[in-house]
Amino acid sequence: MNLDHVSFAAQQDGLQATADRLAEQLGITYYDGGIHPRFGTRNLIFPLANGHYLEVVEALEHPAALATPFGQAARARSAKGGGWMAWCISVNNLAKVEERLERKAVDGNRTPEGSEEIHWKQIGVKGVIADGQLPYFIHWISPAEMHPSARPQRKLDGSGELTGEDAVAIESLQIAGSRDRVRDWLGTDAHKPIPEIGIDWVAPHGEPGIMSVTFSTPNGRVVL
């Protein structure tokens, strides 16, 4: 299991304004990830280092946004002012997750700007709605070269791309919740089940969930 991406719900002034603020803080640009027709949502994407990405997501005025868990989660988080909505774990064997959660994964698709349609399966968003500290799971059907993180990471000032050690990367998540609860959800007792990032667990004051994400950038650490 590895971290795939983190999801940030659009704030009250909308998807693009929210993404613009994050771009200013991170120093990189985003691209249009397209509409999720099955979920009634759309996203803007920041490619990050180490196979990760950050999506800014908003619910559309569409019946699917009311009927599907992902659309419901996006609507609910934006209604509370926006901010961190969820984190997502990539898995190679989705059948094991389906068996543990006793439900089937759902299909996802969208067509990013300048690209062919991409496809995946996801499961666990109902868990996110019930308990915001929990991640959901994704299994990519499209090839690795079409993964959202595979696009070049472009500087906000237009002066080029960021690569290697200079690329913006997720360092750690701060989560209000319980390490043991999340381990149980992941189906593992590993000390560090998501090895490539740090997770700082804090006692929840109010609702459990992502409190902040720390990024490494050429200008130092940025905490959002």
What is the per-residue pLDDT across 89-129, written as a single tens digit (0 to 9) for each?
Answer: 999 999 999 999 999 999 999 999 999 999 999 999 999 99
- Give phi and psi for 30, each to the nearest 5: -120, 170
> For residue 149, is pLDDT > 90?
yes
What is the per-residue pLDDT across 127-140, written as a single tens digit (0 to 9) for each?
Answer: 999 999 999 999 99
For residues 59 and 68, the answer to whether their CB atoms sit within 8 Å is no
For the chain, the average pLDDT equals 96
pTM: 0.96
DSSP 164: G
Residue 46, H or E segment:
strand 41-47
What is the per-residue pLDDT across 32-84, written as a single tens digit (0 to 9) for each?
Answer: 999 999 999 999 999 999 999 999 999 999 999 999 999 999 999 999 999 99
